[in-house]
Structure 1
Amino acid sequence: KGQQWERALTALRSMEGHGPRPNVITFNATMSACSRGRQWQRALSLLCELEGAGPRPSLISFNTAIGACARGRNWLVAVHLLRRASQGCLRPGAGSYAAAVQACGAGAQWRLALRLLRQAESALQEDPLPVHNAAISACAEGSSWPQALALLDGVALRGRCGLQGPDVLTYDSAMSACERGRRWTLSLLLFETMVQNAMLRPTLISYNAAISACEKGAQWVQALSLLGRASQCQEGPSTAGMSAAISACAKAKQHAVALRLSRGRGAAPLGRPAPSSHEKS
């Protein structure tokens, strides 16, 4: 998988030398391969070729380059590319802003991410939910859980006004922000709020975030309950969720249960916590 970008780049150069001449779609596909291979510098180089002698870059070209910068944690170049696209004849969409905000989050620039969100709200003609989600995720990266919750409240208000409300990713990002901010009770509250929404279906990522919150609070019984519910997902419980549940049991001194989990024997019996030291004596 890591070599796909090399093959894509070789094919592009072969077309340039022997024909047919590559078009903007070919360049975009090659840039995307470089992005997936975390070769953001090469993706930028291809964008420069498009702006020079190559075909005229499209909005997808800029979005791909911005996304490559996000993967490479280069927020400065990502924001610069967004501004260049805005100053040209292109109109950046929600995907453009979301990728730039994501890059800011990866670079621990959550305040700049919020400024870009405000710009998107003013400039976009489409629903900015992807940008909101990216901004909440940026707040999670910056451990700014109060701001993440404020953004979630704003999206929920939009939903009550007839616009698109929070989706699973919105809640997952907010839960992650609370968990990183050691507000595990808030993270679990968000999870239950999402579960009660008939329009939303928690993913394995949702369960992992909730179990991780239980681990922070040593809530071993709830962690095991969530682990069982996660098994109903198509992917089944993940290694990350299992590890967090084991850690929750260990923190609560439920070592026998933790051992059963680590050996893959399940969590039963849940109703019998290990006796405390004064019960043993």
Structure 2
Amino acid sequence: MTLKELHKKVMSFDDTPLMPVVFVGHGTPMNAIEDNEFVHEWNRLGSELPKPRAILCISAHWETRGTFVTAMDMPKTIHDFYGFPRELYNQRYAAPGSQDLSAIVKDHVKAVEFDYEWGLDHGSWSVLKHIYPLADIPVVQLSIDHFKGPEYHYELARELFFLRSKGVLVIGSGNMIHNLRMVKVENGDFNTEYGYDWAFELNDIFKNKIQEENHNALIDFSHLHDSARLAIPTPEHYIPLLYILALQQKGEEVRFFNDKVIAGSLSMTSLIIS
């Protein structure tokens, strides 16, 4: 791409008031088709947020070697799960991509390369279909480099801060606490508030550190609690939170929503920074 072409793309994203940033605890893929309290909050979120020009989503479900950004005109809907009802596999989220946004991200963050194969996995579309059901806002996904640690991801995310003043909504989709091997359903309802003591304790610790803007403690999460490794046995669902925290300006307000521990070892706790 020539400098003239890049300049034209950047100008298509003129300066705007600073956009909020959002971390969503996405939970089970069934949230895509269920009518529950978490979905209701996602619906409400869509009516509260300023309408963005485009969305950049960091999903726990796209891990790669290196960092990639989707660069196709029409990203496919990926059904990256098994054993669920047919209705879930019939879901489509037909939002367009944005090659302009992809090019701007790649230019500003030298570690990023284009991807033309992925699309939108359920970490993105199962949430976005409730926030923006018309699928009329371009969506681009950024992958998580599986081979890099939390501090690397936090620092990479800081390079994306300029997007907030370009009308781009950045969403991280994962779960602060995510241990599927220890999931335990209470009373037959996956979404009932129920958790191990350590899950509730860690959920509160995470929220307190976020309110204190103590990002260093959250980057080095393994030292926050004796059971941190139970809460985060693998980091891919936690890392999207770090991307969102890295985009926070000092003193910005944090508002939590869907603040529940469910199924023993899963936190739906989500937040908006604005």
TM over 0.5: no
Q: Which has the higher helix share?
A: 1
The structure with the larger Rg is 1
Q: Which has the higher strand share?
A: 2
**Which structure has the higher relative contact order (CA within 8 Å, separation 6+)?**
2
